Amino acid sequence: MDDGERRVVGRFAPSPTGPLHFGCLVAAVGSYCMARRSGGRWLLRIEDLDQPRVVQGAAEAIMRVLEQLSLCWDGPVVWQSRRSEAYQAALEQLRRQGMLFDCGCSRREILASAPHPGEEGPIYPGTCRHGLPKGRQARAQRVIVPQQSVCFVDGVFGPRQQCLADAVGDFVLKRADGLFAYQLAVVVDDADAGVNQVVRGADLLGSTPRQIFLQACLGLPSPRYCHLPLVLGDDGEKMSKRHGVVERVRPGREGELLCKILRCLGQAPPFGGHGMPPGEVLQWAGQHFEMSRVPGRDLPAGKIPRKFAK
């Protein structure tokens, strides 16, 4: 069955480190519309793997906002914190394939040996790739990265290419504190859920080559990726919780907020949404949303208007 025949399965995967912010909500709406426009499924996954950063009650607050905006997900919520066995099985597969090694290096040592950082921090110099040096104990587990490029076509940003060895080096799959890395968890989760379309923020564009590489190593299919432009605050920085959060929307303003988000994504709803039920706005969006209209640049959103906040 080719891509044109497969039923789309999309997902939204927030981290419960606090309430939703506007930029995160933009990604939720974009992923929802792209799944629904073809009659596909839209799943919800709570990425609570990094338990020290999880804020109590944040996941439930996120789900309340989604429900208030009629962003209804299909099936049960998946919680990463309950899926350690699946991640461990993937690690063991990579080790059997000779692609995993134990690393005894501290971050300070890696920084000292790699003064010229890569795209996302220091590039691992390969100290432990062929075995732990004498007197060292294993801290993290890393995957061996070959000297080759990963290529893919993004639905918004077009053709992309990255040489993992030059950009990130052998990257961590299980951290020194015993937690599984995001790159591994998201690959296993998407495959197990049958996700074949990933619509998310452009801040994760640099993670995609690592995920495609791991999918190939584990014999898993790669979804189609579409990275939405980042929403910027008044200060020109990526919108985050410090720019304002959406903990609850003022009743009667849900449709208006959804229309603002759709316009941020280059869509042109023929109404302002004021007083409209959010389900009606989403019904229109599910029929008319076009990824080709999404701007391939960051989006200035400014402050979240007070009229939307309860």
Q: Give catalytic residue positions.
A: 241
- CA dist 8 and 135 (Å) reads 51
- 58: Cα separation from own chain's centroid: 17
Q: HEC profile for the chain?
A: CCCCCCCCEEEECCCCCCCCEHHHHHHHHHHHHHHHCCCCEEEEEECCCCHHHCCCCHHHHHHHHHHHCCCCCCCCCEEHHHCHHHHHHHHHHHHHCCCEEEECCCHHHHHHHCCCCECCECCCCCCCCCCCCCCCCCCEEEECCCCCEEEEEECCCEEEEEEHHHHCCCCEEECCCCCECHHHHHHHHHHHHCCCEEEEEHHHHHHHHHHHHHHHHHCCCCCEEEEECCEECCCCCECCHHHCECCCECCCCHHHHHHHHHHHCCCCCCCCCCCCCHHHHHHHHHHHCCHHHCCCCCEECCCCCHHHEC
For the chain, give the number of residues.
310
- CA dist 21 and 39 (Å) reads 27
Burial of residue 262 (CB within 10 Å: 0-12, 13-18, 19+) is buried
- CA dist 84 and 3 (Å) reads 30
- CA dist 261 and 289 (Å) reads 12
